[in-house]
Chain A
């Protein structure tokens, strides 16, 4: 399946991926409204780790055998058979964060439900990749080896 691969050599720590991710997962889809007005406040599904010296964007690997799905105590976290996308059914999720406790890569964030990357499954085009100014994020099926 196609995944988002991050390259630390190219990451500028500008965090634009976070900004566009948060906007893409907002109600309004408008940057200013998403950041200043929306209730409940939307959150970015990926996070840049590190500092100006060395940084990289961390987002879900949509694992083949996802530990988060195995650990989910409600059936809210599932891997879509057809697309391979691992995502949360927000109406089932109780926000216990059992999934966060086992994701080996630190890809889940706390909230009233588990907050994680869904590969922008509604639009089919990850907003982080589209808006990274330095191509530090690529969306490919090739394991990130190739641009």
Chain B
């Protein structure tokens, strides 16, 4: 059996490992157009600020793949999928497959900024290779401008903050981290970031134009008219699913590649898709959406891999869960957080620097936002994932969750390591 996987990141690697677990002899080839062995993409901002080295970022050393019999082809971009002959093309080379998984992930969404395209100091924030360039350009006199205050923009800003003179973050939305925070929580985090760093925000604003000298950007003009000096421009507005190969091959693609959530199979039964490039079915609101998170990519990669190897496992439902820390301000969010109108209800607790919001749908917890209050957050996540009827719980759910929320029989089970449904 020949298995091919395009993309060697969270989803691709989980897929390869699961195939190997179920099929000891099949040939597994993983293609990546990047030069590095699989690494932790979310760690690139930590690499930028010097918290981890490039070796620690690798998910495994090279010997691991040899021992598992997984071939990783770096610097190899797959250019086409020939479904009729079941062959992948990479430039002039061809690679036959029996089962294929697309784990092509995300590509950066680059906002249209007049005069920025192609400039040497305008860079995106998605790959280690680009971040190495950013690191080489950044220094203690660098005035950096980051476009985008989403997860990636904020992480870029945090990484730059430690090594640059100033960091200006420009965001179109009225508040930061709009996909993982509500307005009140965002205000709190913004205040904390401003008080603890050299990061300044320009919200409800855009970068209209870059000023340049030759191939170098020297400043930017904002939509508001304000001008900022700029030695380094980081374009981190967001990401889009990388679906071009799938589209060219005629597979069903909507916002992402369409799959069956239970198997991750596409409309071609020998082709699967997993991770940021694939549509997920959110178990909490039954909406098809892109859940561009590492853990979700791993889960989908596993589901695909086991199914490709003919050893299907029950797939858990998909939902978003995320944790980050900005300058000591811990953020943890899960599920539906912008669900403010009926049928949803919410409870909020705010004290000092901490904020907790729980979102309910009837008797079920369906989401939370925790700022400076992440202790035992996984217990909430477990209530959400298992759709536990909260009227069966004892005590105040707004307190730090703990084992005595559960009645004795459930407690005994949990102490043994069994989550109750």
Contact = CB atoms under 8 A, between A and B. Distances in A.
A144 B412 CA distance: 10
> Interface size for chain B: under 10, 10 to 19, 20 to 34, or 35 or more residues?
35 or more
Interface stretch (B50-58, B117-125, B207-215, B283-291): B50-58
A49 B323 contact: no
Given A100-B332, A143-B416, A95 B325 contact: yes
Contacts of B40: 73-75, 92
B404 A49 contact: yes
A68 to B, nearest CB: 8
Contact of A71 (B321, B374, B376): B321
Interface string B399-421: 00111100000010011110100
A3 interface: yes
Interface string A35-56: 0000000000000011000101
Interface stretch (B71-79, B100-108, B242-250, B377-385): B377-385
A31 interface: no
A73 B325 contact: no
B43 interface: yes
A62 B325 CA distance: 25
Nearest to B404: A50
Contact of A56 (B43, B322, B403): B403
A71 B402 contact: no
A39 B378 CA distance: 29
B111 interface: no
Interface in A93-127: 94-98, 100-106, 108-110
Interface stretch (B126-134, B255-263, B293-301): B293-301
A39 B352 CA distance: 28
Nearest to B376: A106
Given A96-B324, A104-B378, A73 B403 contact: no
Which residue, A6, A54, A95, A100, has most C-beta atoms of chain B within 10 A?
A100
Contact of B381 (A5, A58, A96, A101): A101
Interface in B305-345: 321-325, 330, 332, 334
Given A70-B299, A96-B323, A101 B374 contact: yes
Contact of A105 (B57, B59, B414): B414
B378 A108 contact: yes
30 contacts: A8-B415, A50-B402, A56-B411, A58-B402, A63-B417, A71-B294, A74-B40, A74-B57, A75-B58, A75-B59, A92-B52, A92-B57, A94-B42, A94-B43, A96-B323, A98-B295, A100-B323, A100-B374, A100-B376, A101-B321, A101-B323, A101-B332, A102-B295, A102-B381, A104-B379, A105-B414, A106-B376, A106-B401, A108-B378, A110-B330
Report, nearest first, the 9 A-B pairs whose CB atoms are least far apart.
Answer: A61-B417, A106-B376, A104-B382, A103-B378, A75-B59, A71-B295, A74-B40, A101-B323, A97-B323
